[in-house]
Amino acid sequence: MGTTQLETAPEPKYWHLKTVLSEALDSEFSVGEILPNERELAARFGVARATLRQALEQLELEGRLQRRRGVGTTVAPPRVGVAVDPAHHTWPGAPGDDWEPVGAVESQNVPLAVSRLLELAPGEEVHVVHRSRVTHGQPVAAEQLYVPARSVPEAATRTAVDAPARARTVLRELQQLELEGQDRAVELGSARADDAKELDRLPGAPVLVVTTRYFADGRTAAVALSTYRADTCRLTFGDNEADAGVTVLAG
Amino acid sequence: MGTTQLETAPEPKYWHLKTVLSEALDSEFSVGEILPNERELAARFGVARATLRQALEQLELEGRLQRRRGVGTTVAPPRVGVAVDPAHHTWPGAPGDDWEPVGAVESQNVPLAVSRLLELAPGEEVHVVHRSRVTHGQPVAAEQLYVPARSVPEAATRTAVDAPARARTVLRELQQLELEGQDRAVELGSARADDAKELDRLPGAPVLVVTTRYFADGRTAAVALSTYRADTCRLTFGDNEADAGVTVLAG
DNA sequence: TAGTGGTCTAGACCACTAT
DNA sequence: TAGTGGTCTAGACCACTAT
């Protein structure tokens, strides 16, 4: 016989569990259905709760499950396709964009990476416009749009009555400029406490961060940091019409 | 005095730890530097190892740390910008694309979501072309390109000598078609075992999955599933020239 | 107030890397 | 063979939701 030790390393329990649960979700559960609680599931599979949780975490990451503290674990609907990059480039706040202005403040305190993209001088004033995006009644994204005061010298945010009006003032001025181009980058991040609250998630939840640079007057005129829920969103780019409706479950 | 119970909920230990470590990384460590091991760090901060690991996991997710079993934890370099969507649309394998053909097989067994996108008939044959992408000497992505046999009737994969040659045969035939358009979607996933191995990660590692649809002859002629390391990659879209060089650390 | 998922502990052992 | 991160256990208690 000889030693047959060429075998592949044993599969971790949580990995096997994930596979089993995934198949059960496909065949025995429907969207919105509540799973047994974690202590019950762990007992049923004969593993420690921590191990069971490792499997559930992965399935949540893949958009298969939704877990809510105090409530329970449910089968998640397919991810929602959200159009991020329409073929026709426009300023934020242009007609037809899905974002809701929430407020705006003036600040000298912006993330280092943003100040580099905008090539800010030390102490330079920046309007920070806060917007949110809702699809199918669910909050899917929160955005901070950084607009140097130099880009919109006429924006009179202090005279506006309420917060959304202040935001609209900045957006309106921005649209006076000629948009010369834009680009985007997508990366994985974890939700800051404020964004998490707005997205109805816990701090640290995985998010897709889209960085958009808007070019005008030969320089970067504004930068948007948009934070999308990674569990529920599929970001779409290009020719496609809004929701293609089909989700590729990447597991 | 009265009860002052309007206070915000206490910050979890691992969250606070993450903040402390993050600041230490900024000020006291440089890229590539090795951190003390987990048992040592946990002792130093007076927490259980599991709690320390929760903080490290988040920092790794944000691309700040790199952990390797048997080796240790090091400070990660800034994320690499990888161009995903050049302004000029082309077939995969066109001159100038960064992918290396690895192999190709014929299969009737494709992911359900892919077969829906391609509107495959049951049992229809599909070429599965496997490619990999390397940047700065590091593997950053693995791809499965699904091409229905009907799209490339002349592709003679069986006569090709080696695996890369079989892949190139399919790609060459694909380029004979007129590309009418393409679109993309990005979502979070976890690495399958085979992709994980190729990307030098453990199975289940977080990845960004890009689904590309290629249109020709009025239908979807091919679909690519590209799996990018989420810890090391920032996907760029649009006008930007390759690497913008600046990383937005989304934490 | 009961029930849920989230945090945390203090261990043990395993898989892997480098020497 | 020593040292690392990865997996797993069996608990305890906390924050939050809904009744």
What is the tens place of the pLDDT at every residue in A4-58? Answer: 334 466 799 999 999 999 999 999 999 999 999 999 999 999 999 999 999 999 9
> Between A and B, how many residue pairs show a Cβ–Cβ distance under 8 A?
165
Largest Cα–Cα distance in chain A?
86
Q: Which residue is closest to B182 within chain A, CA to CA?
A: A239
Q: Which residues of A80-90 are buried (b: 16+ CB within 10 A; e: fewer)?
A: bbbbbbeeebe
- Please compute the mean of the pLDDT values over residues A238-247 and round it to a whole number: 48
Contacts of B246 in chain A (CB under 8 A): 113, 116-117
CA contacts within 13 A on the Cβ side of A219: 10
- Tens-of-pLDDT digits for all 251 residues of chain B? 333 333 466 799 999 999 999 999 999 999 999 999 999 999 999 999 999 999 999 999 999 999 999 999 999 999 999 999 877 789 999 888 889 999 999 988 899 899 999 999 998 999 999 999 998 888 999 999 999 999 988 776 566 678 889 999 999 999 999 999 999 999 999 999 999 999 999 999 999 999 999 999 999 999 999 999 999 999 999 765 433 434 443 44
Q: Which nucleotides of C are covered by protein (CB under 7 A)?
A: 3-12, 14-18
Amino acid at B71: V
Contact, A69 CB vs strand C, < 7 Å: yes
CB contact under 8 A, A235 and B206: no
pLDDT in tens, A150-194: 998 876 656 667 889 999 999 999 999 999 999 999 999 999 999
By C-alpha to C1' distance, C3 is nearest to: A70
Listing DSSP states for A195-229 in one string gives HHHHTTS-TT-EEEEEEEEEEETTEEEEEEEEEEE
Q: Which residue is closest to A84 within chain B, CA to CA?
A: B185
Given this model, what pLDDT does residue B107 score? 87
Contacts of A192 in chain B (CB under 8 A): 251
Contact (Cβ atoms closer than 8 angstroms) between residue A229 and residue A140 = yes
CB atoms near residue B127 (< 10 Å): 25
Distance between the alpha carbon (CA) of A72 and the C1' atom of C3, Å:
9
Q: Which residue is closest to B180 within chain A, CA to CA?
A: A239
Residues near B95 by Cβ (< 8 Å), separated by ≥ 6? Answer: none
CB contact under 8 A, B248 and A113: yes
CB contact under 8 A, A187 and B79: yes
Give the whole-angstrom CA distance, residue B12 versus residue B15. Answer: 5
Contacts of B251 in chain A (CB under 8 A): 189-190, 192
Residue A117 has pLDDT above 80, yes or no: yes
In this complex, the residue of B15, B61, B211 whose CB is nearest that of residue A188 is: B61
Give the whole-angstrom CA distance, residue B75 versus residue B100. Answer: 29
Distance between the alpha carbon (CA) of A46 and the C1' atom of C13, Å:
18
Q: Which nucleotides of D are covered by protein (CB under 7 A)?
A: 2-12, 14-18
Contact, A12 CB vs strand D, < 7 Å: yes
Token couple for A29: 């559960």
Contact (Cβ atoms closer than 8 angstroms) between residue A174 and residue A107 = no
CB contact under 8 A, B190 and A246: no
Listing DSSP states for chain A in one string gives ----TTSPPPPPHHHHHHHHHHHHHHHH--TTPBPPPHHHHHHHHTS-HHHHHHHHHHHHHTTSEEEETTTEEEEPPPPEEEEEE-SS---TT-TT--EEEEEEEEES---HHHHHHTTPPTT--EEEEEEEEEETTEEEEEEEEEEEGGG-TT--GGG-SSHHHHHHHHHHHHTTSPP-EEEEEEEEEE--HHHHHHTTS-TT-EEEEEEEEEEETTEEEEEEEEEEETTTEEEEEESS-S---------
Report angle CA A23, A29, A34 to the nearest 5 degrees: 120
Given this model, what pLDDT does residue B5 score? 34
Given this model, what pLDDT does residue B211 score? 97
CB contact under 8 A, B185 and A239: no
Best residue in B115, B188, B215, B243 for a mutation probing chain A (most A CBs within 10 Å): B188
Given this model, what pLDDT does residue A128 score? 96
Listing DSSP states for A96-115 in one string gives T--EEEEEEEEES---HHHH
User: Which A residues in the span 54-83 are in contact with B, Cβ-Cβ below 8 Å?
Assistant: 58, 61-63, 79, 81
B87 CB within 8 Å of a chain A CB = no
Q: Which residue is closest to B238 within chain A, CA to CA?
A: A183
Point out the nucleotide closest to A203 (alpha carbon to C1′): C6
By C-alpha to C1' distance, D2 is nearest to: B70
| A82 phi-psi bin (left φ>0, alpha ψ -120 to 50, beta other) | beta
Beta bridge pairs of residue A107: A126
Poorest-pLDDT segment among A99-103, A136-140, B145-149: A136-140
